[in-house]
Amino acid sequence: MSDWGVAAWLMLGGSTVLLFIGMPVALTFITVNIVGAWLYMGGEAGLAQLARSSVTSITAFSLTPIPLFVLMGEVLFHTGLALKVIEGIERLIRRVPGRLAVVAVVAGTVFSAISGSTIATTAMLGSLMLPVMLARGYHPVLATGPIMAIGAVDMLIPPSALTVLLGSLSGISISKLLVGGVMPGIVLSLAFVVWIIISVRISPKLAPQDDTGSGHRGWARWQPFFAYVLPTLSIFGIVVEALAYGWATPTECAALGAFATMVLASLYGALTRKALLQALKGTAAISGMILFIILGATAFAQILSFSGASTGLVQLITGQGLSTAMVVAGMMLVLIFLGVFVDQVSMMMITLPIFMPIVQTLAIDPIWFGVMFLICMQLGLLLPPHGLLLMTMRGVAPAEVTMAHIFRAVIPYVAMSLLLLAAVFWFPPIATWLPRFIQ
């Protein structure tokens, strides 16, 4: 076996095995990086270089949007504005089969537009809406499925911390990647609503027949929408418009969004000292974890490149005479397979050092590829048996909801996500049309 082949097996194989046996992501890549730096970068000198490059990787200005996007969602949840948004949406949606499930999807889409955390969205909707749906006679499959599915869509609709992380690690334009996920995310949300309505019409026992909504009429019905939902959505409009027209960089947009969220909470009198401290603590914890993982990811890619493994693997794949479409399809299949076993950050860390040189060599549109990468990561959140949002739902669901219910509930939404991936693959403008307007 060639030298680069040994390096590839050691670095990629070693990290995969450690992740599969349950070692935490950060410790996995620190362990592999130390061994790789010692073997391929000159012993102690390699370890010193590893430390320097690691520090440089987490001080990059391009990573600044991550904590700011996370802060937007944390403020929304801890100030209680999320509850007001749900109430405003629930009052508007009436006389629809599976009404509360539809409310969960619409509310989740709104939260996706101002929150950078998929887990937070799923946990919040699961805690607030799942008990209500079960109490009203919704089948556990219909009650849990939409909440998990729309939580995963959070990754596609900006602001998204994982999208910023993907753009930073891959070298893809962060602003274009953020905007590129808007249309696929909205298409997926609409598909979820259509599926809920169709499934309840086919099988009425899934939801109560008299679930027509509250008795609010006139202004009382619309008041929460104008008071809470519309102002909250305006933050999303400001961020996306500033990105699309080039008025601000992703970092400036993130700062603008975080500031607007706190101003809005202050205007409602909800930004108390306690709520702000909870939001800041949550932001620090999540951002610290992400930055620690970036540290390991950057060093991992550097060692792969230094050992020749990246170049060797790229030449091996591109030298097979496969068409570009076949290579891209193969990369998506690898991502879907990995999504069954490892988390989204691990997927990026394992694959990007190999995939991005292939993307550059074959002149593949990086935005198109990046959006499909996001869809595959979104799929990984939902794939049994270890999907992160499945575990989140299990954690917030009452005892009457079993893992069998959760697995059954997620299947149609996984199928719709696969159809979206196929649609973007065959019709790239779904992902690339909006980013073209960014200056």
Task: Read off the pLDDT band of 4 (50, 70, 90).
Answer: low
Q: How confident is the model at residue 146 (pLDDT cuts 50, 70, 90)?
A: very high
- On whether the pTM is more than 0.75, the answer is yes
Predicted local confidence at residue 277, as pLDDT: 92
Residue 358 has pLDDT above 60, yes or no: yes
pLDDT on residue 428:
93
DSSP 378-420: HHHTT-TTT-HHHHHHHHHS-TTS-HHHHHHHHHHHHHHHHHH
369 pLDDT higher than 80: yes
- What CA–CA distance (Å, rounded) separates 257 from 240? 10
Alpha helices in 113-180 (DSSP H): 118-135, 140-153, 161-170, 174-180
Report residue 44's pLDDT band, with 50, 70 and 90 as the boundaries.
confident
Most confident stretch, 41-55, 262-276, 412-426: 412-426
Report the share of the chain in percent with pLDDT over 90. Answer: 15
Close Cβ partners of 297 (under 8 Å, ≥ 6 residues apart): 29, 57, 169, 345, 348, 349, 352
Q: What is the pLDDT of residue 305?
A: 67
Amino acid at 413: Y
Which pLDDT score, from 0 to 100, does residue 108 have?
Answer: 83
- Any idea which of 1-10, 202-211, 353-362, 388-397 has the lowest mean pLDDT? 1-10
pLDDT at residue number 19: 66
CA angle (46, 51, 53) in 5-degree steps = 90
Answer whether residue 328 shows pLDDT above 70: yes
Q: What is the pLDDT of residue 349?
A: 75
Distances (CA, A) of 56 to 33, 50, 149, 354: 16, 10, 36, 21
